[in-house]
Structures are given as structure tokens and as C-alpha cells.
Amino acid sequence: MQGDLIKMRQAAATILAQQKQIETKYKQAQTTADDWLRRAELAVQKGEDDLAKEALKRRKAYQEQADQLKTQVDQLSVASGDVLNNTRALEAKLQEARSKKETLKARAASAKTSQQIQEMMSGLNTSNAVVAFDKMEQKVLAMEAQAESTKMLVGSDTVDNRFKALETGTVDDELAALKRGMLPASTSAAGSLPEGRPVQDALDLELEALRRKARAE
């Protein structure tokens, strides 16, 4: 299209140049024909009929030449107009083609980018990613279960300790049991009952031993 446009512009320039040249010749011929007409009129006024006839002959020759040139000028004017119109139409088409070319380039670049993205996405191994996330979830669940078990064990130890404290009792509990005669016999020599001693004396001795033990602690 660019080459055709150059050729059409050259053709239009050639036609316009020819039109201008012929137009100049036409004006010269028409001016000469008009001059011979004035001379013929002058000769008639002066009574020179022969001279007037000669002037009219020359005027006729130049007028015929001018008329022919005028026809060529009109033809070239139509031709140059057509060429100029076609040139403008081709220029518009060329501009449209350039604009479409830029649009297609942009679309091609966008399509290429989209294709590259799709190829990149298709190359990703999503199954491996899913497996990795599943492993992470399993590890987190195991950690949570371990923490919950530890919490339950700590709570169980606390409960056991409380029950042991209740079962063991205090010094006051032992004193009350001692007074009731329900305290188990001690294996120590100091706690043994001497033969022939009353029970009350034995209790006093046991109580005294517990007091000494308490003071020593």
C-alpha cells in the first residue's frame, strides 16, 4: 500500500504539472485570439476590410487552438481530481492499516503474555503442593493432640496429689486417732508398751514422743 501510494502521488504530480502547462498555453492562445479580434474590429472601423479579414483568419486559428487546449485542460482537471481523490482514499486506508497493525501487535503481545502465563501455570505441580499442605496439617494436628494430652496428664497429677493429701491426713488427725487408740503401733522401741504399764501411760509416752519429734523438726 505504501508503494501504491507513492506511485499515485507521482501520477497526481505529473497530471497536475501537465494541466498547469496546458492551462498556460490555453491562456496564451486565448489572449492572442482576443487580440486579433480587436485588430479586426479596428480594421473595420478604419475601412480596411482586407486587413480585417486577415485579422479574423488569424483570430480563428488561435481560437481553435485555445479551444483544443481548453478541452485538454478540462480533461486533465477531471483526471487530476480522480487521482487526488484516490490518493486521499489510499492514504486513509494506509492510516487505517497502520492503526490496525498497532492494534494487532498489541493483541499479539497480550496473547503471547497470556499463553506464557498459561504455560507457566500448567507447569506448576499442584499435586505436590496439596501433599505438602496435607503433611503440614497432619503435623499441626499431632502437635495439638500432644499438647492436649500433656494438659490432661498435668491435671490428673494435681487430682492425685489432692487425694493423697486427703488420705495422708495431718498431725491433728493422728493425735485424734491416737487418743481414740486407733493409731497403728509403731515399730520403734520408744513406742512399745512396757509390761504391766497402764494404757494411759502408754498413750502419754507416745504423745511425748510425737511432741519431741515435732520440736526436733
Domain ranges of the chain: 2-123, 125-159, 169-216
List the one residue out of 125, 31, 11 whose CA is nearest residue 79. 11
pLDDT at 123 over 80: no
Phi/psi of residue 37, nearest 5 degrees: -70, -40
pLDDT for the residue 141? 78
Average pLDDT, the chain: 77
Type of residue numbered 157: D
pLDDT grade for 98, boundaries at 50, 70 and 90: confident
pLDDT grade for 23, boundaries at 50, 70 and 90: very high
Out of 26-30, 74-78, 106-110, least confident range: 106-110
Q: Give the chain's end-to-end CA distance (angstroms, integer).
A: 118
The helix/strand/coil state of 47 is coil
pLDDT for the residue 5? 83
User: Of 60-69, 129-138, 192-201, where does the model show the most confidence?
Assistant: 60-69
Element (H or E) spanning 6, and its range?
helix 2-45
pLDDT for the residue 21? 93
